[in-house]
Amino acid sequence: SRGLDFEQFILLQANDGILPKRAAAPTFLPDSIRRAYQLSVLENQDSIFAYVFYRLLQRSVQSWITYNALVTDQSTGEPSRFLAQLAYETTLQPERKQVAIPLKAYWKEAITIEKTAPVMALLNRFSNRESKMSPSAFNTYLDCRLKFYFQYLAQIKEPDEFLTDPDSRTVGNIFHKTLEILYARLAGQGGNGQVDKAGIALLREWLPEAVGQAFAAELTQKTDTAFPFSGSLLVLREIIAGYVKKVLDVDEHYAPFAQESLEREIMMQVPITVSGRRETIWMGGYIDRVDLKEGVYRIVDYKTGMDDKNIPSVESLFDRGNTRRNKAALQTFIYARIWRQGEAPETALETGLYDVRAIGKTPAGFSWQFVFKGNGAPEKIDHRSFAPLEDEIWGKVTEVLEEIYNPFVPFDQTILVEKCERCAYNKLCGR
Question: pLDDT tens digit string along 355-377?
Answer: 988 888 788 888 899 999 877 78
> How many other C-beta atoms lie within 10 A of the C-beta of residue 298?
21
What per-residue confidence (pLDDT) applies to 327?
Answer: 92
pLDDT at 100 over 90: no
Instruction: Report the distance separating Cα 10 and Cα 23, nearest Å.
Output: 24
What per-residue confidence (pLDDT) applies to 176?
Answer: 92
Find the length of the chain. 431
Mean pLDDT calculated for residue range 342-353: 81
What per-residue confidence (pLDDT) applies to 122?
Answer: 94
Q: Give the bridge partners for 301, in sequence order.
A: 353
pTM confidence score? 0.73
Q: Output the CA–CA distances (angstroms, integers) from residue 226 to 29, 148, 178, 234, in the order listed.
A: 45, 39, 15, 14
Q: What is the DSSP letter of 17?
A: B
pLDDT at 395 over 90: yes
Phi and psi angles of residue 112, each rounded to the nearest 5 degrees, phi first: -135, 125
pLDDT tens digits, 271-283: 999 888 898 999 9
What per-residue confidence (pLDDT) applies to 169?
Answer: 83
Confidence at 139, pLDDT banded by 50, 70, 90: very high
Nearest residue to 244 (alpha-carbon basis) of 183, 195, 323, 295: 183
Q: Report the DSSP pairing between strands 310-311 and 371-372.
A: parallel
**Contact criterion met (CB below 8 Å) for 241 and 208:** yes
pLDDT tens digits, 286-330: 999 999 999 899 999 998 887 888 999 999 999 988 888 999 999
What per-residue confidence (pLDDT) applies to 90?
Answer: 85
pLDDT tens digits, 122-132: 999 999 888 99
Instruction: Report the distance separating Cα 261 and Cα 191, nearest Å.
Output: 13
Q: Report the DSSP pairing between strands 277-293 and 310-311.
A: unpaired
What per-residue confidence (pLDDT) applies to 402?
Answer: 94
pLDDT tens digits, 33-67: 988 998 877 777 788 888 888 888 888 899 999 99
Q: Exposed (0-12), middle (13-18) or buried (19+): which is 276, by Cβ within 10 Å?
A: exposed
pLDDT at 163 over 60: no
pLDDT at 24 over 70: no
pLDDT at 162 over 60: no
Confidence at 387, pLDDT banded by 50, 70, 90: confident
> How many other C-beta atoms lie within 10 A of the C-beta of residue 374?
13
What per-residue confidence (pLDDT) applies to 231?
Answer: 80
Q: Report the DSSP pairing between strands 194-195 and 112-113.
A: unpaired
Confidence at 332, pLDDT banded by 50, 70, 90: very high
